[in-house]
Amino acid sequence: MRFKTLDRVKDQEYETQIINVDSDASNQFVQSWVAFYIMKILRDPDFSYTLFKWDKIIKGSFVVGSKYQCYGAFTGKRLDGLLSLSLDDILKIEFIATAPWNYGENGRVKRIGSALICFTIQMSQYCNRRGEFMLNAIPDAEKFYERIGMQATGNANPSGLKEYHMSETAASSFIKENGKYII
């Protein structure tokens, strides 16, 4: 999938493509996140962000026959976001993140997260799941998922992260709102 993203520094739209990633790209992404995380802790002791077992989830994406599939959002050669999906009875986002330089309200490239959600909805539709999917959200992302129409299910994973569900109706609304960016 190709998606129009906005570089806030250059105030220019670019094409970001979501494709399968290899282990080298995912390792670089994880390393950049860990470096970002460490710098945030050094600068702000109150900074809190749940570190996932990214290596396990992402490396599992590269095992033949694995239930995980790993995708990257590339703007040119730069990896701006990473997504790992699993498919059982319903499609589930196992991992989703934008690159550290895109993190927060003042991030450099806008719409990377929306592109990854649009891609997930399209994958769900492709798998006859009507755009529906699940994920467990870090506390900092819960408002984003609620804003895009996802509903908390009342369940949580062993780490305590709340489970969210994207319904067929919410998926349709999200695609309608963000479809103008799909190329």
Q: How many domains does the structure of the chain reveal? A: 1
**What one-letter code names the amino acid at 141?**
A
Q: What angle do CA 4, 131, 176 make, to 5 degrees?
A: 45
Q: What angle do CA 114, 173, 61 make, to 5 degrees?
A: 40
CATH of residue 115: 3.40.630.30
Domain that holds residue 34: 2-181
Per-residue pLDDT of the chain (183 residues; tens, 9 = 90+): 999 999 888 899 999 999 888 666 656 666 665 566 556 555 666 655 555 555 555 555 555 456 778 888 989 888 888 888 988 888 999 888 887 777 666 678 899 999 999 999 999 999 999 999 999 998 888 999 999 999 999 999 988 999 999 999 999 999 999 999 999
What's the rounded Cα separation, in Å, for the pair 88 and 81? 23
CB 33 within 8 A of CB 55: no
